[in-house]
Structure formats: structure tokens, C-alpha cells
Amino acid sequence: MALARALAPQPNLLLLDEPFSNLDAALRAQVRADLRAILRQAGESVVFVTHDQEEALSLSDFIAVMFEGTVEQIAPPLALYTRPASRRVAEFVGEAYWLPIDAAGKTGTSPMGEVALVEAKRGAVDGLIRPEQLVVGEGGVMARVEWREFYGHDQRVGLRLVDGRVMAARTPPHIPITPGDTVTVKLRGPLLPFERV
């Protein structure tokens, strides 16, 4: 009802500040989908304030990431997730893991073997890895399963590489994985390189 009242005068811009903060997860997802459909149909421009990354990524045409009142990056959700402007944005938007790479153009060597890079670089860089880029059980380097979180539609698996670093992979739910298992893991797709810190 409040949304209808806000849309009635046909404002140039609508501000929604944490509108779903008091809803449970299932209701939040449904209301979010309904709101997106209503706003698209109305053709309204909306500034949507949220601390929930899933909400921001699923609702927005563009996202502004702010730190201490300063905008660090404005981009469509896919670009923000796959091409963050800085390490800080990468770590803020989704899970981010860093792989040390000795870059030689658009490829490099790493603890996970040879890797492809999104951009040509030379020397020591860190490659951004997202959990869905880690492929379990289809070859690659050895890793030990540290933990497993089952979600139904997928599972999140903690993997300890030989060099001691731990990364989480998102895998299909049907892959049988138990903490303590030794598995293989490889990378899917090129990595976005950042300056080594």
C-alpha cells in the first residue's frame, strides 16, 4: 500500500531505504520479485539502499558501491561482480579469493598451475577467484576438503590447497563430498589480475 501511495504522484525518482529489512527470507524473495516487476512496469527510477548483496545484485540495473561515503564503483551487477574496480570492491561484492600469479602476458604460473588472465600483465599479481570458478573432481591440483555446507540447490565446500590456502568452491549438490576427502580442483575461466599487495 505504501508503494502505491509513493507511485501515485509519478515521482521522477523514488528512494527505497532497506524496504525488506523486517521480512523473513522466503517472503523477502517473493516481495523482491514483485517489487521489481511493479517498478519495471511503472518505468520508475529508484534509488534502492541495501546492505544485502543478493538484493542489490538481483534488483539493480546499476549498483554503486560506497565506502565511508565515497563511491568506489558504479556498474551493472554482472560487471561489478566480474570486473570490480579494486580489491576492496572485489572483497565486498561476493566471496573473493586471491591466487598469487607470476604473469607473462595473458597467462601466468601459480600454485594451481598455469592460469589464463583476463588482462595482460607482467610480474607478480594476484588473480581474483570466485567460488563458482573452482571446479571439483575434474582434474587439476590436489586439495583437502575442510568443510561442507549443503544448501539443496548447491553446496559450498572449503578446500585446502597444498600451499595451505583455503578457498570455498560452489559445486552441484549431487557431487559426494565429505570433510577429510582428498579431491582435485581446477579453475574455470580466466582470472582478473590485481596488483600484488
pLDDT tens track for 129-154: 999 999 999 999 999 999 999 999 99
Residue bearing the bigger pLDDT, 53 or 93? 93
Task: Identify the CA nearest to 62 among candidates 81, 75, 46.
Answer: 75
Distance CA 85, CA 131 (A): 19
C-alpha cell at 94: 561476493
Considering the domain 97-195 in this protein, what is its CATH number? Answer: 2.40.50.140
Percent of the chain with pLDDT over 90: 65
pLDDT band at 6 (very low <50, low <70, confident <90, very high): low
CATH 3.40.50.300: which residues of the chain? 2-92
Considering the domain 2-92 in this protein, what is its CATH number? Answer: 3.40.50.300
CATH 2.40.50.140: which residues of the chain? 97-195
- pLDDT over 60 (residue 42): yes
What are the angstrom distances between the C-alpha of 51 and each of 2, 8, 60? 22, 27, 13
Distance CA 93, CA 184 (A): 27
Q: What is the pTM of this model?
A: 0.85
pLDDT for res 33: 83
Residue 92, classed as helix, strand or coil, is helix
